[in-house]
Amino acid sequence: MDKENKRVLFDTVIVGCGPAGLTAAIYSGRARFKTVVLQSRLVASQVLTTSEVENYPGFVGAVSGFELIDKFQKQAESFGVEIVSATVSEIRKNKENFQVVTDDQIYDAKSVIIASGAQPKELGVDGEIRLRGKGVSYCGTCDGAFFRNKKIIVVGGGDTAVEEALFLTKFAETVTIVHRRDRLRAVKILEERAFSCEKISFIWDSVVRQIEGAEKVESIILENVKSKEKEKVFCDGVFIFVGYLPNVGFMKDFLDKDEKGYIITDSNMVTSHSGIFACGDCRNTSLRQVITACGDGAIAAQSARYYLEELMGVGYK
Ligand SMILES: Cc1cc2nc3c(=O)[nH]c(=O)nc-3n(C[C@H](O)[C@H](O)[C@H](O)COP(=O)(O)OP(=O)(O)OC[C@H]3O[C@@H](n4cnc5c(N)ncnc54)[C@H](O)[C@@H]3O)c2cc1C
Q: The domain spanning residue 45 has which CATH number?
A: 3.50.50.60
Give ∠ CA 283-61-75 in degrees, rounded to 5: 55
| Least confident span in 57-61, 172-176, 190-194, 211-215 | 57-61
Residue 290 predicted with pLDDT over 60: yes
Strands (E), the chain: 8-15, 35-39, 82-85, 88-93, 98-102, 106-114, 118-120, 136-137, 151-155, 174-178, 200-203, 206-212, 219-224, 230-234, 237-240, 244-246, 276-278
Distance 125 CA to ligand 1 centre (A): 25
Q: How far apart are CA 127 and CA 210, in angstroms?
A: 6
Kindly state whether residues 156 and 193 are assigned to the same domain. yes
Q: Quick one: 25 and 103 in the same domain?
A: yes
- Give the pLDDT confidence of 98-123 residue by residue, as tens digits: 999 999 899 999 999 999 999 999 99
Query: Among 11, 17, 143, 281, which one carries the catalytic annotation?
Result: 143
Q: Whose CA is nearest to atom 53 of ligand 1?
A: 46
pLDDT range class, residue 253, cuts 50, 70, 90: confident
142 is catalytic: yes
Answer whether residue 222 shows pLDDT above 90.
yes
Q: How far is the CA of 288 from the centre of ligand 1 (A)?
A: 9
Residue 5: the pLDDT is 57
Check whether 6 has a pLDDT greater than 90.
no
Nearest-angstrom CA–CA distance, 70 and 48 = 10
pLDDT for residue 237 is more than 90: yes
pTM for this entry: 0.89
The rounded mean pLDDT for the chain is 94
Bridge partners, 276 (sequence order): 112
Query: Does the C-beta of 293 come closer than 6 Å to ligand 1?
Result: yes
Average pLDDT of the segment spanning 228-237: 98
The pLDDT of residue 178 is 98
Tens of pLDDT, residue by residue over 30-54, are 999 999 999 999 999 999 987 788 8
How many Å lie between the centroid of ligand 1 and the Cα of residue 144?
A: 19
**CA 189/CA 125 separation, integer angstroms:** 31
Contact in structure between 172 and 199 (CB atoms under 8 Å): yes
CB contact set of 241 (below 8 Å; sequence gap of 6+) = 120, 138, 154, 155, 156, 158, 160, 161, 164
72: part of which helix (H) or strand (E)? helix 65-78
Catalytic-labelled residue, pool 139, 235, 279, 294: 139
The verdict on residue 234 lying in a domain is yes
Do both 7 and 111 map to the same domain? yes
Name the residue of 70, 116, 167, 292 to mutate for ligand 1: max ligand atoms within 8 A of Cβ: 116
Spatial contact of 203 and 179, defined as CB atoms under 8 Å apart: yes
Comparing 3 with 134, the larger pLDDT belongs to 134
Pair 209, 269 in one domain? no
Which mutation among 64, 70, 290 tests ligand 1's pocket best, with the greatest number of atoms within 8 A of CB? 290
Whether residue 194 sits in one domain with residue 139? yes
Q: Whose CA is nearest to atom 19 of ligand 1?
A: 289
Average pLDDT of the residues in 27-32: 98
Query: Whole-angstrom Cα distance, residue 81 to residue 29?
Result: 6
pLDDT of residue 1: 46
Residue 81 scores a pLDDT above 60 = yes
End-to-end Cα, the chain, rounded Å? 44
- Containing domain of residue 21, as a range? 3-119+244-312
Residue 139 annotated as catalytic = yes
The average pLDDT across 258-265 equals 96
d(CA 89, CA 247): 11
Same structural domain, 84 and 61: yes
Q: What is the distance in A from the centroid of ligand 1 to the CA of 73?
A: 14
